């Protein structure tokens, strides 16, 4: 990879956004320009392949400088990929989950921060498709089809768990619904068209509230200082007496049965980890061929001729390809389970998602560490950015505990016990 500006050729060029110390204009004008309409799963993968090649060019610099990937995300918004899973009757591509996973894997191999930004988008767009009213589907999905990305404001700090929700959706009578609270880990919120806020009502019920990014009383901060996944800018969202249209509110109670809604969010995280593994391995191979020197005792001309190096990289390739294969297989399982109301079929797909989520996390951590072992001291030079792969993997795999995924798999294997059907987490 080399530092530099991304150029993407399948869409018209966008104006260069103004930046000053990575300050961001939150204009949503880009979302008002019609996005590309994707006609097939194959076209979606072709677009993702070109997009990944383009965003790879600036990945090292964005990581180093903590840059907000404004132009890259605008290209994503215009690419048509945001509407990949939306049914064709609502103007979407009607694509497969398996295809979306390959899209994520390709982009994450180039820059996992840019892949993570829309992760929640697909989950909460799917919530609109599944649980929204016809009016809500018409309103909100049409925005997505036009290129409007949905951000996330779900988790909070200071509670017993990250899903403890103190953000309040209150009814002020003549003033209507109002929203107050503070969220963190707001991935995608900074540059999105709408932000999905998890809020609690006075009767203690929970809802998803799809709030316009530009609404009065809403502020998104760039207070994200994690050592990895730096360009996600997953900082704070503050809501101060935000006026809410009832058509923006989808009660969480709408999740009243077995489905793969939460599994979709989980497997997209897995696809990011799989992409990180592939990106690290590809960069390691490239560095070995172009930069590394053989160890003197090996008595070979090139490090790629040293038996220990050959064995090491052969093992890494086999492990990464294995988890890539498992990811695709699980995507096909979810596609089969998506329309099903058979609890056994749905639960089997959900547990398969836990399997690949856990294995993808472990593989990403192992690969990003092991890939540097044979490259020599020069591989630690900051200009090559090889450390970012491990930092990204270490940060992203902490999103939710791998140990609990293995617990779900073990419980299902030994006792036939599936995870809670209405959990946000599986």
* CA angle 117–114–228, rounded 5-degree value: 90
Q: What domains lie within the chain, and their CATH numbers? A: 29-148 (1.10.540.10), 168-253 (2.40.110.10), 261-415 (1.20.140.10)
Would you write out the chain's pLDDT as a tens digit for each of its 426 residues? 333 333 333 333 333 333 333 344 343 444 456 899 999 999 999 999 999 999 999 999 999 999 999 999 999 999 999 999 999 999 999 999 999 999 999 999 999 999 999 999 999 999 999 999 999 999 999 999 999 999 999 999 988 987 899 999 999 988 899 999 999 999 999 999 999 999 999 999 999 999 999 999 999 999 999 999 999 999 999 999 999 999 999 999 877 778 999 999 999 999 999 999 999 999 999 999 999 999 999 999 999 999 999 999 999 999 999 999 999 999 999 999 999 989 999 999 999 999 999 999 999 999 999 999 999 999 999 999 999 999 999 999 999 899 999 999 999 999 999 999 888 888
CA distances from 259 to 45, 185, 264, 397 (A): 26, 25, 10, 24
State the pTM of this model: 0.91
* CA angle 380–59–273, rounded 5-degree value: 85
- Residue among 402, 101, 96 at smallest CA distance from 268: 101
């Amino acid at each position: 990879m080399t530092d530099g500006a991304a150029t993407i050729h399948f869409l018209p060029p966008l104006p260069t956004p103004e930046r000053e110390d990575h300050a961001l204009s939150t204009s949503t004008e880009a979302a008002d320009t019609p996005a590309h309409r994707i006609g097939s799963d194959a076209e979606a993968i072709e677009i993702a392949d070109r997009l990944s090649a383009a965003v790879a060019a600036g990945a090292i610099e964005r990581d180093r400088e903590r840059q907000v990937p404004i132009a890259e995300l605008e290209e994503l918004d215009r690419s048509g990929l945001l509407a990949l899973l939306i049914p064709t009757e609502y103007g979407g591509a009607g694509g497969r989950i398996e295809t979306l996973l390959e899209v994520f894997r390709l982009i994450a191999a180039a820059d996992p921060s840019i892949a993570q930004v829309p992760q929640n988008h697909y989950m909460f767009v799917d919530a609109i498709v599944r649980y929204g009213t016809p009016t809500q589907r018409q309103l909100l999905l049409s925005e997505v089809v036009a290129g409007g990305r949905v951000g996330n404001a779900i988790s909070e700090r200071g509670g017993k768990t990250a899903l403890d929700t103190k953000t309040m959706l209150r009814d002020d009578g003549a003033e209507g619904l109002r929203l107050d609270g503070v969220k963190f880990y707001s991935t995608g919120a900074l540059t999105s068209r709408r932000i999905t806020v998890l809020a609690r009502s006075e009767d203690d019920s929970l809802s998803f509230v799809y709030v316009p990014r530009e609404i009065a009383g809403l502020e998104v901060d760039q207070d994200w200082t994690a050592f990895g996944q730096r360009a996600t800018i997953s900082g704070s969202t503050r809501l101060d007496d935000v006026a809410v249209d009832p058509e923006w509110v989808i009660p969480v109670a709408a999740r009243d049965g077995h489905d793969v809604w939460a599994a979709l969010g989980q497997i997209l995280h897995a696809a990011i980890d799989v992409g990180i593994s592939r990106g690290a391995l590809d960069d390691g191979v490239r560095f070995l061929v172009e930069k590394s020197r053989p160890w003197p005792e090996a008595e070979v001309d090139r490090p790629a001729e040293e038996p220990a190096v050959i064995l090491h990289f052969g093992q890494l390739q086999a492990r990464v390809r294995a988890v890539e294969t498992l990811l695709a297989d699980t995507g096909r399982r979810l596609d089969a389970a998506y329309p099903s109301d058979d609890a056994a079929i749905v639960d089997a797909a959900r547990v398969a998602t836990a399997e690949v989520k856990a294995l993808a996390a472990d593989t990403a951590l192992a690969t990003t560490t092991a890939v540097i072992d044979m490259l020599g001291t020069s591989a630690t030079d900051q200009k090559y950015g090889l450390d970012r792969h491990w930092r990204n993997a270490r940060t992203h795999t902490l999103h939710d505990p791998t140990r609990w995924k293995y617990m779900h798999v073990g419980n299902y294997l030994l006792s036939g016990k599936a995870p809670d059907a209405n959990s946000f987490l599986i």
